[in-house]
Amino acid sequence: MRNLSVTTFIHILFSVAIIILIATFLLFLSWDKDRQKIEKYKRYQLISITFLSNLQQNSTQKTSKNSIKNSMSRQYPLNTYPR
């Protein structure tokens, strides 16, 4: 095995460090995507629980139809629920 020069060793070392940094960045990106999916699930769960509790409280047919109509026509922005 031949001797590696100091420059070659430094290049290999920096290359490994850059690969580790990129891998760590990609790992954090995947964790962030998972966190967004969990938050989206929690948001939709909160919306559905609120909707069902409103239906139970307003049990007449007219109010049920109105709340269904209101929920279908309304858009829910992403980050509006409390953390």
Residue 59 placed within a domain: yes
pTM above 0.75, yes or no: no
Residue 27 placed within a domain: yes
Residue 43 placed within a domain: yes
Total domains in the chain come to: 1
* Contact present, 18 and 53 (Cβ < 8 Å): no
pLDDT digits (tens, 9 = 90+) for 22-69: 999 999 999 988 888 898 888 888 888 887 887 777 667 666 666 666
The boundaries of the domain holding residue 44 are 6-73
Distances (CA, A) of 43 to 10, 31, 49, 83: 49, 18, 10, 10
Residue 80 placed within a domain: no
Determine the distance from the C-alpha atom of residue 16 to the mean position of all C-alpha atoms in its chain, rounded to a whole number: 30
Q: Where are the alpha helices (DSSP H) in 58-78?
A: 61-73
Residue 83 placed within a domain: no
Residue 56 placed within a domain: yes
Residue 19 placed within a domain: yes
